[in-house]
Amino acid sequence: MHPEVEIAPAKLNLGLKILRRRKDGYHDIVSVLQTVDLCDRLVFAPAATGETLVRCNHPDVPSGPENLVSRAVEVLRRETGDNRGVRVDLDKRIPTGAGLGGGSSNAAATLRALDRLWGLRLGPGRLSGLAAELGSDVPFFLTGGTAIATGRGERIRPVDWVDEFWYVLVYPGFPVSTARAYQNVRIGLTEGGAYGTFLDFAEKSGRICAGRLFACLGNDFLPLVEAAGSGVAPILEALAASGAVASSVSGSGSTLFGVFREAREASVAVPRVQGRGRRVYLCRYRPRR
């Protein structure tokens, strides 16, 4: 195996509603997931038999067996009996603890890359099953694009997306623990409200009207993120003042984003939300693989 590069894109939750807490401790959700062109970069190279080496340029990313890249390698070995060694160099560009799915995307990239490089040919069904073992949104990242996620997030229904929008992503300078966020989120009394009703129709039709989606955009985690950092409200206000047609938080936080129809408006918004330890990214949709 020669060194090979695999790209792992971030995702946005274009709305997220918590429907109920399940008996297994997870929550049933409904959300639109979409990959964007903010990406991590993974380089895979051979290592000694049975060895998994993960090296990352970000100090907060673990390099041991708790890393989702290492776990993805072990899941493949268990499934196939293949004991080849691998070294993975991870160039981390997606913020951690940000609601952008960076770790899950890295895991999916590992499954994709080693299935190809080791000649495993597991097929979409087996890969998706392994991905679901690693995390609720890992199956989505196997192909990316735009999809409606239901269940605990592992049931993926790809949908067509034909609109062009720009996204300004703002990492506010603090992470949010996904586990803690789900422990404290307030579950609404309705089955997703207008957002859920719209997605029911979108799932049946197989496509999404972006204008209608952004008109009912909402995320049940936004109040928790607003409570976690005093700078959240000014960021959302600045995005709206810059011409964002919608704004919210991705996943359980902490990344906020604004949706813009024009690149010029999005570019103007960037300096307005910079500063105070924030990281700002100007992104576009990254289509399905």
Where in the sequence numbering do the catalytic residues fall? 11, 137
> How many Å apart are CA 251 and CA 89, to the nearest integer?
26
Q: How many CB atoms lie under 10 A from the CB of residue 77?
A: 17
Q: How distant, in Å, are the alpha carbons of 68, 71, 83, 149, 255 from that of 74?
A: 10, 5, 9, 26, 30
Q: What are phi and psi of 170, to 5 degrees?
A: -125, 110
- How far does Cα 226 stand from its chain's mean position? 20
Sign of the alpha-carbon dihedral angle for 226, 230, 231, 236: positive
Question: Amino acid identity, residue 215?
Answer: A
Question: Amino acid identity, residue 176?
Answer: V
> How many Å apart are CA 239 and CA 63, to the nearest integer?
36
In angstroms, how far is the first alpha carbon of the chain from the final one? Answer: 23
> How many Å apart are CA 248 and CA 14, to the nearest integer?
8
